[in-house]
Each structure stands twice: as structure tokens, then as C-alpha cells.
Amino acid sequence: QVQVVESGGGLVQAGGSLGLSCTASDSTTVSVAMAWFRQAPGKDREFVAATSWNGGSTYYADSVKGRFTISRMNSKNTVYLRMNSLKPEHTAVYYCADKLTPVRTTARDCPRWGEGTQVPVTA
């Protein structure tokens, strides 16, 4: 079964930066949009960012615009999330997923998910 696996999470201090990666076990992701979501403790999963299949279009939650950057390298079956100026409220488990409609923020059109990577941000 083709999987997507997130990596790059870890403890970071407020104001710091972190880069996450999401790699598929084969090349199926190169023709689909991909997205990052996050789930903070005690909260619902929320949309963070999405990219079209070729990276030509990107979409962000208002809360991360100007701070986070999504990108992809299809030759490596990988999608990235660069997070700058992190705050404690960014603490969450970050997930990547296939996304049928990247312009929408819903998680309901995401047929495949990774298991997530934890990002704790300390004050």
C-alpha cells in the first residue's frame, strides 16, 4: 500500500524555524494536490496549506500566511512545509494528505493521510 510519511518534527523554541517533509512511497503523489493540516491538543484538525500537483498554485490558512511556505519536489515524491517565526500556539501534530480540491480548506476530500509529526513549540 502506498503511504505518505511525514518527518522533520521536533521541539523548537518560539521564534525559531522548522522544515517538515512529506514523502510518498512511490510516485503517485506527483499528479495530485497535497496539503498540510495540523491538530493541536484538544482541538479539531485544521487546514494549514495546500499545493497543486505541480506547485503552480498554493493556498494558505489566514493564520499562517507570510509565516509558512508549502512547496514540492515531484522528482523526490516530496512535499515540504517551511515554518518560520513559530509561536507556542503552533504546537500541534502536523499531517500531510492527498487533496482532491486544494483551494478548499476541508479535510473531507483527503483520501490518504500520513500518521503525523509532532511539533512542540516552547515559549
C-alpha cell at 69: 511556505
Which of 68, 61, 62 has the alpha carbon at shortest distance from 83?
A: 68
The larger pLDDT score, comparing residue 3 to residue 83, is at: 83
User: Residue 46: is its pLDDT beyond 80?
Assistant: yes
What confidence tens digit (pLDDT) does each residue in 89-106 have?
A: 999 999 999 999 999 999
Position 50 scores a pLDDT of 97
User: Residue 63: is its pLDDT beyond 90?
Assistant: yes
Position 31 scores a pLDDT of 84
Percent of the chain topping pLDDT 70: 98
In whole angstroms, give the CA distance from residue 38 to residue 32. 20
